[in-house]
Amino acid sequence: MNSLLIQSSVTCPLASSADGDADLSEFQLYLIRRNMAGNTIRVYLYAIRQFFWLFSMLSASNLQLYKLYLLEHYKVQTVNLRVRAVNCYLEFRNISGCRLSMVKSQQKTYLERVISEADYEYLKACLQRDGNLLYYFAVRYMAATGVRVSELVQIETGDVGRGYKDLFSKGNKSRRIYIPTGLCQDTLRWIQRECRPTGPVFLNRYGRPLSPSGIRCQLKHFAFRYGMDPAVVYPHSFRHRFAKSFIEHGGDIAFLSDLLGHESIETTRIYLRRSSSEQARLVNEIVDW
């Protein structure tokens, strides 16, 4: 434990909880000015609140102890997200010399929780059969465009008419999502029957846009209803399906990286790998000794 105290002289105490609230308000404004997404801001603020709930003083030793706490209670992905939040807060406070290092995890040689082509087609058929065209098209859009669920709910009828949706992310980076012609035609016929010439495509029964959390919940409901594995029926699984199918049909990985909005092509390379179930099936087909 002594090694954790090497930089303990770097301290920035919060005088009172009121000062801490004011400090977090300033930090929130700092994040907004950096064009960070709303969900990222919420996560960053939660991480800093959690730190000061556990430790009354900001110091290098307490930061290391916080990292140990995270490692004991959370998965690596969550740990690294909160480490980034802490480092961003240190930057906001102009504190140097005690940045936390990210946790390295062994890269998997396979994809996990990817819906198979057969299950995707089965789910679409069930939704269409039951007349649930709202989720039939929602599932189809995610698997045919690679759109994130937070982006799906932003698609409007005008985008369908154009055949693409331009999105702007943090740092004012733009990305274009292309909608295949067949999907555009089917969607236009559907929304014309619904008498919705303008506005968002995906609306709930109250006429308001679907929420990402609502979509996640409904997909789990459909998984149980149709006897599917709920572990592979979630929004990002269809984005994985799009990427896998794109590669399997000879698509260029650099273009795929652009379509998915990845900052690095290395992130996209995972789709060159087989899913864990595909690997298991391949081993069973080959190994007979």
How many angstroms separate the first and last alpha carbons of the chain? Answer: 51
Question: Annotated catalytic residue: which of 148, 165, 240, 244?
Answer: 148
Q: Return all residues near 228 (Cβ < 8 A) that are at least 6 apart.
A: 119, 122, 123, 222
Active-site choice (162, 189, 236, 281): 236
Is 193 considered catalytic here? no
Catalytic residue flag (residue 170): yes
The residue from 67, 239, 241, 244 that is catalytic is: 239
CA angle 256, 257, 261 (to 5 degrees): 115
Active-site choice (44, 136, 141, 271): 271
Catalytic member of 34, 124, 262, 269: 262
Q: Is 262 a catalytic residue?
A: yes
Helix (H, G, I), strand (E, B) or coil at 108: coil
Between CA 95 and CA 76 the distance in angstroms is 25
User: Could you give the CA distance from residue 156 to residue 60 in angstroms, rounded to a whole number?
Assistant: 48
> How far apart, in whole angstroms, are the C-alpha atoms of residue 7 and residue 97?
8
Question: Of the candidates 14, 2, 99, which has an alpha carbon nearest to the alpha carbon of residue 54?
Answer: 14
Per DSSP, the three-state class of 82 is: helix
> Which position among 170, 173, 189, 281 bears the catalytic label?
170
Q: Determine whether 239 is an active site residue.
A: yes
Q: In whole angstroms, how far apart are CA 55 and each of 13, 21, 46, 61, 98?
A: 10, 15, 14, 10, 16
**Residues with catalytic roles:** 148, 170, 236, 239, 262, 271
